[in-house]
Structure 1
Amino acid sequence: MSERWKPNVTVAAVIEHDGRFLLVEEHTPEGLRLNTPAGHLDPGESPLQGTVREALEETARAFFPDRFLGVYLARFERPQRGEDVTYLRLAFGGRAGPADPARALDTGIVRTLWMTLDEVRASCERHRSPLVLRCIEDYAAGRRFPLDAVHTDASVYGPS
């Protein structure tokens, strides 16, 4: 029997304030890249909890989601390392609180920056994945699903 395909589940926050979007600049094997605050969903947490956690870790800001943007799928190939990975991203939109100057940014994050939609569009060659722009474009277009569109069963949090 062949091995079962398992996409990597990631969560992402699209944060806008006064026409600018909050991105992170991070170290990757391909060099410095731009991304929305995002990362892997951890065991025992809902997608919403994971997004709030990732945003805090990567931006030192509390994230207050008010919408679900959608489910996104993308494939990433790194032939020189023999990697072929599919990412399943659940993206949420909302606002962020002020930066906590006492909190360090997550390992690998160089800085945060606020960019206009035009600046995000113009920097595509530096994006971590094509989903960065797609999620921001969906937010800018007014895409909005209720937060409860993503259900997490209680079994995720531990034994019954």
Structure 2
Amino acid sequence: MSFNPHVTVACLVEKDGRFLLVREMIDGCEQLNQPAGHLEANETLEEAAKRETLEETGWRIELTGVVGIDLYTAPANGITYVRTTFIANAVTHLPELPLDQGIIGPIWLDRDEIASRRELLRSPMVLQIVDDYLAGRRFPLEVAGRRG
């Protein structure tokens, strides 16, 4: 049996004590997630994080660090994801930009508001990453590697 983890990126964007999340429809149900998605061919992790955040929220961001590189196996499908979560500052909002299919739109929530919506979170990683960040888990951008 082969093991083929999916390489994904996400962004934790904080502004005034609130975190940028994405409201999205998955199998007919609304879910919340950090802006996130898969790495595409010929792009760096940093490029993927910026692209996914723009496509899902309409926000241009500046990456400042990394919260972590984590593994998550989704119980629904058994797929293992290798997720690099970047820390970013919100720079410019482009509300006229069309968002990815299935995206309802961005929402800013504080930590307690996120926790109160636990049943809507796409995975437990959404709240865990916020808690890791608030606990001071931060690494320089260089831990995400360079294009080889």
User: TM-score, structure 2 length as denominator?
Assistant: 0.94
Q: State the distance in 2 between where 1:52 and 1:101 align.
A: 16
**Matched residues, percent identical?**
39
Q: State the distance in 2 between where 1:89 and 1:62 align.
A: 20
Match of 2:20 among 22, 36, 50: 22
Identify the residue that residue 12 of structure 1 maps to in structure 2.
10
Identify the residue that residue 157 of structure 1 maps to in structure 2.
none
Gaps of 5+ in 1: 155-160
Identify the residue that residue 93 of structure 1 maps to in structure 2.
87
Match of 1:143 among 120, 127, 137: 137
1:130 aligns with 2:127: no
User: Larger C-alpha radius of gyration, 1 or 2?
Assistant: 1
| CA RMSD, 1 decimal | 1.2
Q: State the distance in 2 between where 1:153 and 1:88 align.
A: 17
Count, aligned residues: 148
CA deviations on 1:113-141 (whole Å, 9 max, x unpaired) are 11011111111111001111111111122
Q: State the distance in 2 between where 1:69 and 1:40 align.
A: 17
Identify the residue that residue 65 of structure 2 maps to in structure 1.
67
1:34 aligns with 2:51: no
Gaps of 5+ in 2: none
Q: CA deviation at 1:145?
A: 0.5
CA contact 2:61–2:90 (8 Å) conserved in 1? yes
1:113 aligns with 2:111: no
- Three-state SS of the structure 2 residue aligned to 1:106 is coil
1:104 aligns with 2:98: yes
- Three-state SS of the structure 1 residue aligned to 2:59 is coil
Q: CA deviation at 1:152?
A: 2.3
Matched AA of 2:62: F
Q: CA deviation at 1:153?
A: 3.1
Q: CA deviation at 1:99?
A: 1.5
Q: State the distance in 1 between where 2:105 and 2:88 align.
A: 20
